[in-house]
Chains A and B, each alone.
Chain A
Amino acid sequence: MNWTAKPRPGAAHPATGAAAVRPGPTPAAVPSGNLRISNGLKEFLWLISDVPHGRVLDLGPVWQSTVSFFVDKGYRVSTEDLLRTWKDFLSAEEEGFRASPVGGDSQRISPSVLADKFLENALQYPERSFHGVLAWDLLDYFDPEVAPRLMARLSQVLHPGGAMLAMFHSRATERFHRYRVVDSQTVELIPAATIAVHSHVFQNREILGLFADFRSSKTFVGRDQVREGLFLK
């Protein structure tokens, strides 16, 4: 999939010489209530539109509207609430740690070791399984040592040419939200009980480092300063 060469619907044919009307993203996302105009989602859908029966992985909780949206477009959807699974995993580890004798294996508290252990059971999909991954803002909630390991796994399960949508806050968030797709350019932010505290505000170059395996990226900054990143493998 070529990011720049792929024709957009409504774009003038190159041969006509007419000025190309770019129906792509509008300059900024305009939040309205709990709805958010998501240029990242719009672009994500455009990128995966080449694969009519592709597979999409949603890393948030399962929502009827999101599943229906993609199923109606002919995609297969898998949902894995990664943050919830991570918190459950940490709770289990903590319990085990408390029960273990003092002076036991101290390596278990290292975030990177925890991440490796977590990934023994999480995100267990064959390589190149998905054509699109919706990561929402969950990377903000993982330890900076854990996030690269998650990204490495996500990169593995993403098909070459596949796209990943991720959001990054520009400051620590006060409320914890979940996201669900309303339509092709709107997501709804659902306030939810906090299951994780905002862990890290990624700088732009850190984001690029996280997605170093990807061949191109595009970022949209909303008026609320949330950065929507679209990454193409």
Chain B
Amino acid sequence: MWRKSPEAKPSSESYSPPVSAPVASQAPVPVPAPRVPTQAPPAPSAPIAEPAAAPVSRATSKISSGLKINGELSGDSDLYIDGELHGKIRLGNSRVTVGPNGRVQADIESREIVVDGTVQGNLKASDSAHFGSSSRVTGSVMTPRIGIDDGARLRGKVETTPARGASATAPKGRDTADLQPIAASAVEGE
């Protein structure tokens, strides 16, 4: 009944040292907690899956409001952006969060992407992407799982992709129902 995808595997990719730009590193940072159901899903009656497994206490780097960075970020630390960033973000096995004050003009490639601010660029999340009600995104989105809150504005293409390591014939593991906690919502860039 439900399409299941394999459990998220830790990436075997290696990355260059944490962050190449001057980023304040601290842990933990008030990163938004995993989303909880805000509205019952419209159709399915299957049990709602637990929220996506959060990475085990890992350091989160933060670009605070007022900071402006130009360049390319790569590494394996989670990243919270509440400032401005122009360039490119490649954090393959991490979570990238763009806070309400964050303004990002960059392509983002990460395991999980959460946007509450403004992003202009193409987003590629290997696990999930979530767009909060205050998010403003211009660019294409590729992810196996997507969550969109009421009020989010998304201009560009969206494509759901197979989860990493997914088998097309016998998908197992995490339930795609973890899309459901997010309210059915409008995305209109009027």
Which residues of B have CB within 8 Å of A68?
A: 41, 179-180, 184
Known: A76-B160, A77-B158, A192-B188. A62 touches B168 (CB 8 A): no
Q: Does B157 contact A (CB under 8 A)?
A: yes
Q: Does A190 contact B (CB under 8 A)?
A: yes
Q: Does B28 contact A (CB under 8 A)?
A: no
Q: Is the interface of B mostly helix, strand, loop or mixed?
A: loop
Q: Does A74 contact B (CB under 8 A)?
A: yes
Known: A65-B42, A84-B189, A180-B184. A73 touches B157 (CB 8 A): no
Which residues of A have CB within 8 Å of B43?
A: 65, 69, 182-184
Q: Assess the B3–A64 pair: CB atoms within 8 A.
A: no
Produce 1/0 per residue, B149-180, CB < 8 A to A. Answer: 00000110111111000001001000011011
Looking at the complex, which of B70-78, B89-97, B140-148 is the stretch in contact with chain A? B140-148
Closest chain A CB from B123 CB (angstroms): 13
In the bound complex, how far is the Cα of B160 from the Cα of A68, in angstroms? Answer: 10
Q: Does A102 contact B (CB under 8 A)?
A: no
Q: Assess the A63–B187 pair: CB atoms within 8 A.
A: yes
Which residues of A have CB within 8 Å of B159?
A: 76-79
Which residues of A have CB within 8 Å of B185?
A: 63-65
Known: A79-B157, A84-B155. A190 touches B186 (CB 8 A): yes
Known: A64-B183, A84-B155, A195-B190. A71 touches B147 (CB 8 A): no
Point out the residue from B158, B189, B190 that lies within 8 Å of A67, measured CB to CB. B158
User: From residue 61 to 107 of chain A, which have CB atoms closer than 8 A to chain B?
Assistant: 61-65, 67-69, 71-74, 76-81, 84
Name the residue of chain A whose CB is nearest to the CB of B147.
A64
Q: Does B2 contact A (CB under 8 A)?
A: yes
Q: Does B44 contact A (CB under 8 A)?
A: yes
Which residues of B have CB within 8 Å of A80?
A: 157
In the bound complex, how far is the Cα of B186 from the Cα of A192, in angstroms? Answer: 10
Q: Assess the A67–B160 pair: CB atoms within 8 A.
A: yes
Point out the residue from A79, A81, A183, A193 that lies within 8 Å of B42, measured CB to CB. A183
Closest chain A CB from B132 CB (angstroms): 12
Closest chain B CB from A214 CB (angstroms): 24
Known: A76-B160, A76-B161, A84-B155. A65 touches B184 (CB 8 A): yes
Q: Is the interface of A mostly helix, strand, loop or mixed?
A: mixed
Q: Does A53 contact B (CB under 8 A)?
A: yes
Q: Does A178 contact B (CB under 8 A)?
A: yes
Point out the residue from A61, A69, A72 that lies within 8 Å of B188, measured CB to CB. A61
Q: Assess the B176–A72 pair: CB atoms within 8 A.
A: yes
Q: Assess the B168–A53 pair: CB atoms within 8 A.
A: yes
Q: Assess the B3–A74 pair: CB atoms within 8 A.
A: yes
Point out the residue from A63, A73, A195 that lies within 8 Å of B3, measured CB to CB. A73
Q: Assess the A64–B176 pair: CB atoms within 8 A.
A: no
In the bound complex, how far is the Cα of B162 from the Cα of A77, in angstroms? Answer: 10
In the bound complex, how far is the Cα of B186 from the Cα of A190, in angstroms? Answer: 9
Name the residue of chain A whose CB is nearest to the CB of B142.
A78
Q: Assess the A63–B148 pair: CB atoms within 8 A.
A: yes
Closest 5 CB pairs of A and B: A65-B184, A193-B190, A74-B3, A79-B158, A183-B43
B binding-site residues for A, Cβ under 8 Å: 2-3, 41-44, 145-148, 154-155, 157-162, 168, 171, 176-177, 179-180, 182-190
A binding-site residues for B, Cβ under 8 Å: 53, 61-65, 67-69, 71-74, 76-81, 84, 178, 180, 182-184, 190, 192-193, 195
7 pairs from A and B in contact (CB 8 Å cutoff): A53-B168, A63-B148, A69-B42, A71-B160, A79-B157, A182-B43, A192-B190
